[in-house]
Amino acid sequence: MKQVTTLLIMVMTMGQLNAETILFVKQNSQGNGSSWANALGSVQQALKVAKKGDAVWVAQGEYFTTSGTNRNLYFKIKDGVKLYGGFAGTESSLTQRNVNANRTILSGEIGTPSLEDNAYTVVYTENVGQATVIDGFIITGGTANVEQEGESHVMESCGAGWYNLANGKNSSPTIRNCKFIDNKAREGAGIYNLALNGECSPVIEKTHFIQNTATLNGGAIYNSARGAQSKTAPKLKNVVFEYNIATYGGGIMNKAHNGQVAPLVSHCRFISNKAHFRGAGVYNDFKGTGTSKAIMIGCVLQKNISSVGTPVSSRTGSFSQDATFNSNGLR
């Protein structure tokens, strides 16, 4: 009998250790986050409290990186934390959400109404795994507008919507049911994926990039691998790119600095994106011993405009070196 009792206690204890804690967030609330009725008032509060394995449920509304004017602040998502938006504020399960009806916005808008003094980056992740989730948000208003000489990977110039860094390790969050709208940067206005002697391979699904603008490269996404041991290989599925603009890579810019960049782009749509020079849809580039090649399966490209070459191209100018398509890939 003692053995049975001890076993039951151990099982119950393990269950409590593995149980997911949910923190609730609703605008203008002042609670401790234990329920919708007792919700926290800001996403920043919840992210500071949340631990690995916890979930944060966020009700509809607009949430800002800061209530002040510090452009260097952002929503930092810890490893293993799940951030869900799209709630009305009464739900008891994720399946009850209506993401389209309950617009939940993470905004870089601060200071004056001008975009020029907004937060440099809205969302930041570093060395996080796929159990790190952001699902059901509109990410907008990031402005990484500091000009740098030559190529740069600093946050003030890159990754206005999201800056994802693999620094000597792996950083591969899961991004789902999100919209990146009207973010502006020198490079990677929507998302900047950077591997520094690590691997940066996020999963991006059912997500929409709309009107993001890079003054240089990567209107929606910039994938970068710096260092011979670096690899950036995001997996994109059912992602839509519309009206994004850059000099190179209106939709996606892939660049390997002695490393490897190899995104898998599956069943995605590239509509009305623009490159002032090359690659309105996708552009691949490399330096030194780097390799850069997109694998594109079942993708649709329509009305994309590049000054030179095809919507999917590279510095070599040869389509076969730009991307690998399946038989139904390019239409």
CATH number, position 217: 2.160.20
Residue 319 has pLDDT above 50, yes or no: no
Exposed e or buried b per residue across 60-87, where buried means at least 16 C-beta atoms within 10 angstroms of its C-beta: bbebbbbeeeebebbbbbbbbbbbbbbb
Specify the 3-state DSSP secondary structure of 71.
coil
Look at residue 157 and tell me if it is in a domain.
yes
pLDDT digit string, tens, across residues 185-211: 999 999 999 999 999 999 999 999 999
Distance separating alpha carbons of residues 218 and 213, to the nearest angstrom: 8
6 pLDDT above the threshold of 80 = no
8 is a domain residue: no
Flag whether 261 is in a domain.
yes
The model's pLDDT over 232-281, given as tens digits with 9 standing for 90+, comes to: 999 999 999 999 999 999 999 999 999 999 999 999 999 999 999 999 99
pLDDT band at 330 (very low <50, low <70, confident <90, very high): very low
Q: What are the structure tokens assigned to 304, written together?
A: 């994309």
State the average pLDDT over residues 122-134.
98
Domain region containing 169: 21-325
Residue 2 placed within a domain: no
Residue 238 located in a structural domain: yes
For residue 329, pLDDT beyond 60: no
pLDDT at 51 over 70: yes
In this prediction, residue 113 carries a pLDDT of 87
- Domain membership of residue 3 (yes or no) is no
Amino acid present at 3: Q
Which residues share a beta bridge with 292?
A: 261
Domain count, the chain: 1
Is there a domain that residue 200 lies in?
A: yes
Averaged confidence pLDDT in the chain: 90
Residues in the chain: 331
User: With 90 as the cut, is the pLDDT of residue 147 above it?
Assistant: no
Amino acid letter, 115: L
Does residue 242 belong to any structural domain of this protein? yes
With a pLDDT cut of 70, the percent of the chain lying above it is: 88
* pLDDT at residue 162, as a whole number: 98
Mean per-residue pLDDT, 157-184? 98
